Amino acid sequence: MAQKAKRRVEQRWMDSTSGVSVVNAVMERVSQMQLFQLCLLLLGTFVCSGLARGEIPALREESGERLMIGTAIMSSQLDDPARAALIASQFNCVTAENEMKPDALQPTPGHFTFERADRIVAFAEAHQMKVAGHTLLWHHQSPAWLFQEPGGKPLSREIALNNLKAHITGVVRHFKGKVKSWDVVNEAISDGPEGLRDTPALRAIGDDYVLKAFEFAHEADPDVELIYNDYNIECDYKRDRAIKLVTRIRAAGLRIDGVGIQGHYRLEHPNADEIRRGIQAYVDAGFKVMITELDVDPLPRKGGEGADLSASEREGLDPFRDGLPVEVQTQLAQRYEELFKLFLAFPQVSRVTFWGVTDADSWLNNFPVKGRTNHPLLFDRQGNSKPALQSVVNVLRN
Ligand code: XIL
């Protein structure tokens, strides 16, 4: 064994030094034991350095044709070659975590800034990944001028509709043929009993603003898939209102392909039955379902469930600063297993996108409490796979 290995190393060195036999001189002085130790050292370094990541299963391979597996990224992450390699090897779809939102693409009227989003698209194209567009209309990360006068008063319906149309048309046309689907409207449904959330768009345009957004998006690119995206719309308290909205869009004769369930979950909430009931309801109503922003938050929370950005908490416990204890790591893996089993039970679930790549990037380090150390994803802060990755892979294999 050692002799063979020695010969191989020697041969490789010889090849690379075009026959200069420095190698011979060195190898003659290296005992078999030293060679063995060197091999062990190299193997150890390889495994610990994360180079062995090539060995871990790749989600995009495991999911095959059945399911698209996505992640949300920021263009700056592509500066890190190890991170870029991890993204390209694991996922076959990307969403811009922030860089396709209205404030990123049209910060001032008529001035479109596509550079960072274009970088994400180019990366996706270079690695045979699809792009999920997020999002054309949202009440967060949107410039105030779209729907409000400088003092905050709603713009007239006519001007607000012009602004909405110009934004959607400018963005959708720019990415035509490059973006597979658009989250046309994000989080329009209220968490309270009223139907629509009180937003600048609603105040300026009225309650057909969601329909108008779908109309403008389809006009700008008749081929792109159009999605309504929201959190907790699979949950009992919000589901009926969401179904009412998406069926209203369809009944108006507008294109709507599917529903994006964000999937910002906690270890135990919502329970699997509630999620299953939710997905079933959309499937029964004839919609495709995508899980668009999946993560599982293992940290304690005082307040509500879900992803309402306005519901931030000022302080909260931060119990896992030094890493996730084994028992919580196991709970996380079991929760991901449960979720993937239930997603895969529906052929209509065509994509699952994780909201971030590694725990270090996750928005949950800052939501609902700023500056905590969270562990919601399949890769840890160093980019190493967690037991949860293996449990997802096991479900995909079966
Ligand atoms: C989050 C991003 O991850 C953060 O970086 C940003 O500061 C705020 O927005 N629901 C959505 C996403 O639809 O766009 C949000 O993304 C997370 C909740």
Give pLDDT tens digits for 146-155: 999 999 999 9
Among 62, 97, 187, 215, the one annotated catalytic: 187
Catalytic site includes residue 158: no
Alpha carbon 299 to its chain centroid, in Å, reads 20
How far apart are the C-alpha atoms of 119 and 183, rounded to whole Å? 19
How far apart are the C-alpha atoms of 53 and 36, rounded to whole Å? 23
* Cβ 367 under 6 angstroms from ligand 1: no
Q: Is 253 exposed, middle or buried (0-12, 13-18, 19+ CB in 10 A)?
A: exposed
Confidence of residue 9 (pLDDT cuts 50, 70, 90): very low
Task: Find out whether 216 and 165 touch, Cβ atoms under 8 Å.
Answer: yes
- B/e letters for 203-213, b = 16+ CB within 10 Å, e = fewer, are ebbeeebbbbb
Kindly tell me if the per-residue pLDDT of 50 is higher than 50.
no
Kindly tell me if the per-residue pLDDT of 311 is higher than 90.
no
- CA-nearest of 298, 291, 300 to 329 is 298
Q: If you count them, how many residues does the chain have?
A: 398
Tokens for 329?
A: 């790591």
The strand ranges marked E within 154-219 are 181-186
Catalytic site includes residue 61: no
Torsion of CA 36, 40, 43, 48, to 10 degrees: -170
Query: Which residues on adjacent β-strands are paired with residue 295?
Result: 264
Span 53-68, mean pLDDT?
86
How far apart are the C-alpha atoms of 136 and 167, rounded to whole Å? 8
* Cβ 71 under 6 angstroms from ligand 1: no
Confidence of residue 23 (pLDDT cuts 50, 70, 90): very low
At 32 the pLDDT is 60
Confidence of residue 310 (pLDDT cuts 50, 70, 90): confident
User: Parallel, antiparallel, or unpaired: how do β-strands 258-261 and 349-354 relate?
Assistant: unpaired
3-state secondary structure of 330: helix
Structural element, H or E, at residue 94: strand 93-96
Give the model confidence (pLDDT) of 333-381 as tens digits: 999 999 999 999 999 999 999 999 999 999 999 999 999 999 999 999 9
User: What is the Å distance from ligand 1's center to 232 Cα?
Assistant: 15
Pick the residue whose CA is nearest to atom 15 on ligand 1: 97
* Cβ 293 under 6 angstroms from ligand 1: yes
Give the phi and the psi of residue 185 in degrees, each rounded to 5: -125, 135
